[in-house]
Each structure stands twice: as C-alpha cells, then as structure tokens.
Amino acid sequence: MTKPDRNDRYIGIVFCGGCNPRIDRGKIAAGIQAALEADGCRVAINSTAVDYIIYLSGCTANCALKYTCGTAPATVVAAATIDTAVVAAGDLVTEIVTKVRSFYEQLERQVSE
C-alpha cells in the first residue's frame, strides 16, 4: 500500500446554529482551518462528505452533532469541551488540530505496517 498524500486529507468543520454560543466558533474554525491547510489538508465548512469531521457547537447542547448525519470519524467540540473532556477555551484550536493530526498519523502507521 502507498502512503496517503496529505492533500487527500479532507476535513469538514460542521457548525451548530449558534443560538447560545459560549465560545467564538468562527475564530476557532478559522484557527483550525489555517493550521490544517498549512499542513496541506483540504477543509470544507458544513460538509459531512469528508474523511474526518469536526463538530463545532457553541454550547453543551451539541447541536452540530445532534442534527447532522455524518459517518466519518470525528472530534466533537461542545463549548469548552473536546470529546467530553474540558479544555481551556484558549487551547481549543491546538487540541482540536492535535486530535486531527493524531488520527491521520495513526492511519499512516497502519498503512506502513
């Protein structure tokens, strides 16, 4: 098997409706998008036809995930939590990007074995 090209990494950021935001979803999404695109990934907004999804909800109701039918592997952000673990608001972008990178690194290890 050949090693996947980073340009094949297609990540979606799916937003909630924003009725009760406790975090700045737009700023967080922009930071995520900039970091991932710098890694050579493609990023789509509000699309689930991707290889990996970041559900970005402004509060703990988690509507981005609740009302979306994505089947790709995912990271779920609901207010200042990532996959139910509390994270300092200032660390959200870094932690989310780290999770995405870790997912792809694990895939690359599996391909090379």
User: Do the domain assignments include residue 54?
Assistant: yes
Number of domain units in the chain: 1
Length of the chain: 113
Predicted confidence at residue 3, as pLDDT, reads 45
Q: How confident is the model at residue 111 (pLDDT cuts 50, 70, 90)?
A: confident
Structure-model confidence comparison of residues 3 and 107, the more confident one:
107
pLDDT of 68 above 80 = yes
Q: Is 102 strand, coil or helix?
A: helix
Q: What backbone phi and psi angles, to 5 degrees, belong to 63?
A: -65, -25
Question: Residue 65: which CATH number?
Answer: 3.40.50
Domain of residue 44, residue span: 6-112
User: Do the domain assignments include residue 91?
Assistant: yes
User: Do the domain assignments include residue 100?
Assistant: yes
